[in-house]
Amino acid sequence: MQRRKFLQYAAASGLGILGGGYLYQYATNTRQNNFLGSAAARNMADSTPLFIPGDSGPLGVLDMTDAPMTLNARAATLPLIQGKPSPFLIYNAQYANQTYQNPIIRIQRGSQFNARLQNDLNEPTIIHWHGLHVPGAMDGHPRTTIAAGAHYDYTFPVTNRGGMYWYHTHAHNLTAKQAYFGLAGLFMVEDEDEAALRNTLQLAPGVTELPLLIQDKQFNSAGKLTYADNPMQQMMGQLGDTILVNLTPQPQLDIANRLYRLRILNGSNSRIYKLAFIHRGKMLPYAIIGTDAGLLERPYTAQEVFLAPAERVDILFDASQLRAGEEVLLKSLAFDAMQGGMMPGMGGMMGGMSGMGGMGGASLALGAEFEIMKLAVTRQGPATPSVPPRQLSTIARIDTRGAAVRNISLTMQRMRWLINGESFNMDSYPIQSRSNTVELWDIQNAKMSMPHPMHMHGFSFQVVSRQNSPGQVRKLAQDASGRLITDLGWKDTILVWPGETVRIAIDFTNEFKGDQLYLFHCHNLEHEDQGMMVNHRVTAV
């Protein structure tokens, strides 16, 4: 059944949202864009058509105006594996006569965003607008968490440059589980640079420009999502053995032999990916054109890139030299996750403890090689540009002359991950910065550690340097300061490897009145819930 016809049918027949209603029926009846697939396999032998977001329904693109929106956080069911309904959490929205679940919010830079979060769950929740420059009261600090049945109103101007941001739950001690079960969505900001790129490369959102949400999940034999809440998982992070792209297991994207823009979010709780396109056993080059907070100044050619939880990468993949019938695999290549950190064998134990409630079920270890998605060339494409423009955007470098240097240490004590020796305390303010000043942060990860994706709320930053990087990272460096391609743009999340020190520059200029309360934390969500998070107060001048 075609998407449009099914939506008309759904409206006429009054399909419900919960209990295997609209979401289940939508996925089951929409043959060409479905969520159905076979269980956790390591290859694409039995692939499933990639779910491509439409203009409504699951992951539907919601074009925001100044009119307010309500997001209802609620329980639902969704068939992710072989059509078997699984518990899931969604943000449900009714907007402009359309219904959405976990909508891709699309909005123009400079617009006013107005939304209400209605908590229809049976536990507290709140939304964090990841990467957006907003007042502290709008940021989704766990201090603003609302109880079941309550609501929270957000209103703020969207001042970020064009880019793919996102939103997700941020209730302390509940973030990891709520996000794992579905409370997250994309937030696309449009601006002149975005429009110019699309026009130059003749890109069509939803056709040749696609968002890709990559996640790993664990399912039981009944096809239901499982979450192993145990001490080992809290220390290491949730790992699943089923890779989903846009909630599709073993996905296949049918393409023409032309240029595609793939905007990728690592939406996993803790898994790091090393992305590469493989054709006939060899890596294909691709262009990286953007990172967390929008476009780079120019395209950079790559063959592999690390992508940590919460990071985004914007890729141009050129299939113009491929022929109909050929296939390319998007894979995560093998890498050493621990780099000698932790205790011997902990990296392998990490995978083995994920399944069956931590009792050794089948799982993919962190750093294992596996296939993510198949790209199948099924048709001849039109003659379109395949070379990106030399200049994509302009990035003003932060002036760090005279900037204060702040040291940030990432360590473990008594099986708990800490920031500067601190575990999260709602009423403690270990990091305080002054508005309208610039700081340099040296984020140093202990050698006996594991990789930590560190996220800053409220502000984007620029990477200045990497020191003592492991060899697998150092070989990807683009300059003498050790920066990677993904370090060359605006960032809000940075992966720091064991023994590595990453220096970042932050400009705390803002237009907000009074002191603003934000967070700095590890975006391994189990680490965050365990307390690898500190308050960051930006005080008024």
The CATH number covering residue 56 comes to 2.60.40.420
Q: Are 503 and 487 in contact (CB under 8 A)?
A: no
Task: Say what the pLDDT of residue 83 is.
Answer: 85
pLDDT band at 387 (very low <50, low <70, confident <90, very high): confident
Q: Name the pairing type of β-strands 305-307 and 251-256.
A: unpaired
Q: Is residue 396 part of a domain?
A: no
537 has pLDDT over 60:
yes
337 has pLDDT over 80:
yes
Q: Name the pairing type of β-strands 104-108 and 127-130.
A: unpaired
Task: Say what the pLDDT of residue 44 is.
Answer: 59
What's the CA gap between 488 and 186, in Å, rounded?
22
**pLDDT tens readout for residues 132-152:** 999 999 999 999 999 999 999
2 has pLDDT over 90:
no
Name the 3-class secondary structure at 139. Answer: coil
Say whether both 352 and 435 belong to one domain.
no
Say whether both 73 and 205 belong to one domain.
no
86 has pLDDT over 50:
yes
35 has pLDDT over 50:
no
Task: Say what the pLDDT of residue 85 is.
Answer: 94
Say whether both 313 and 338 belong to one domain.
yes
Q: Is residue 156 part of a domain?
A: yes
Say whether both 170 and 210 belong to one domain.
no
What's the CA gap between 419 and 422, in Å, rounded?
5
Say whether both 43 and 131 belong to one domain.
yes
What's the CA gap between 123 and 146, in Å, rounded?
9
What's the CA gap between 323 and 375, in Å, rounded?
12
Q: Is residue 397 part of a domain?
A: no
Q: Are 111 and 68 in contact (CB under 8 A)?
A: no
Q: For the chain, how many residues are written?
A: 541
Mean pLDDT, residues 455-470 taken together: 98
pLDDT band at 343 (very low <50, low <70, confident <90, very high): very low
Q: Number of structural domains, the chain? A: 3
Q: Rounded to the nearest 5 degrees, what angle is found at the Cα of 143, between the Cα atoms of 141 and 146? A: 95
DSSP H stretches of helix in 38-102:
none
Say whether both 132 and 69 belong to one domain.
yes
Number of H-type helices and E-type strands within the chain: 8, 35
Q: Among candidates 94, 32, 34, 30, which has minimal Cα distance to 62?
A: 94
Q: Is residue 184 part of a domain?
A: yes
Q: Which two tokens stand for residue 509?
A: 């200029």
Q: Is residue 95 part of a domain?
A: yes
pLDDT band at 351 (very low <50, low <70, confident <90, very high): very low
Q: Which residues pair with 371 in a beta bridge?
A: 331
What's the CA gap between 330 and 266, in Å, rounded?
14
350 has pLDDT over 90:
no
Say whether both 180 and 325 belong to one domain.
no
Q: Is residue 291 part of a domain?
A: yes
Q: Which residues pair with 370 in a beta bridge?
A: 332
Say whether both 91 and 120 belong to one domain.
yes
Say whether both 74 and 167 belong to one domain.
yes
Average pLDDT, the chain: 90
What's the CA gap between 62 and 115, in Å, rounded?
13
* Residue type, position 449, single letter: S
9 has pLDDT over 90:
no
Task: Say what the pLDDT of residue 231 is.
Answer: 86
What's the CA gap between 92 and 57, in Å, rounded?
9
Share of the chain above pLDDT 90, in %: 82
Mean pLDDT, residues 34-58 taken together: 70
Say whether both 8 and 59 belong to one domain.
yes
Task: Say what the pLDDT of residue 232 is.
Answer: 87
Q: Are 53 and 245 in contact (CB under 8 A)?
A: no
List strand residue ranges (DSSP E) for 46-110, in order.
48-49, 57-58, 61-63, 69-81, 84-95, 98-101, 104-108
Calculate helix-pair angle for 22-29, 3-13, nearest 10 degrees: 150
CA 115 from centroid of its chain's CA atoms: 21
pLDDT band at 38 (very low <50, low <70, confident <90, very high): very low
97 has pLDDT over 50:
yes
How many Cβ atoms from other residues are within 10 Å of residue 146's Cβ? Answer: 18
**pLDDT tens readout for residues 249-265:** 999 999 999 999 999 99
Mean pLDDT, residues 72-84 taken together: 93
- Please provide residue 428's backbone torsions phi and psi, each rounded to the nearest 5 degrees: -115, 145
Task: Say what the pLDDT of residue 388 is.
Answer: 87
Mean pLDDT, residues 28-51 taken together: 54
The DSSP letter of residue 355 is B
Q: Among candidates 27, 377, 50, 84, which has minimal Cα distance to 243?
A: 50
Mean pLDDT, residues 41-59 taken together: 84
Asked which of 78-82, 351-355, 497-501, 523-527 is least confident by mean pLDDT, the reply is 351-355
Q: Is residue 392 part of a domain?
A: no
CA distances, 105 to each of 59, 95, 186 (Å): 9, 11, 6
Name the 3-class secondary structure at 48. Answer: strand
Q: What is the largest CA-CA distance in the chain?
A: 65
120 has pLDDT over 60:
yes
Say whether both 374 and 523 belong to one domain.
no
Task: Say what the pLDDT of residue 355 is.
Answer: 37
Instruction: Determine the structural domain holding residue 55 and report its residue range.
Output: 3-191
81 has pLDDT over 80:
yes
Mean pLDDT, residues 384-398 taken together: 92
Query: Where is the domain boundary, 191, 218, 239?
Result: 191
* Residue type, position 223, single letter: G
Query: Where is the domain boundary, 163, 191, 219?
Result: 191
Name the 3-class secondary structure at 514. Answer: coil
Say whether both 213 and 321 belong to one domain.
yes
This prediction's pTM: 0.91
Mean pLDDT, residues 295-314 taken together: 99
Query: Where is the domain boundary, 191, 223, 255?
Result: 191
Q: Is residue 308 part of a domain?
A: yes
Q: Among candidates 418, 412, 408, which has minimal Cα distance to 443?
A: 408
Q: Name the pairing type of β-strands 431-434 and 533-539.
A: parallel
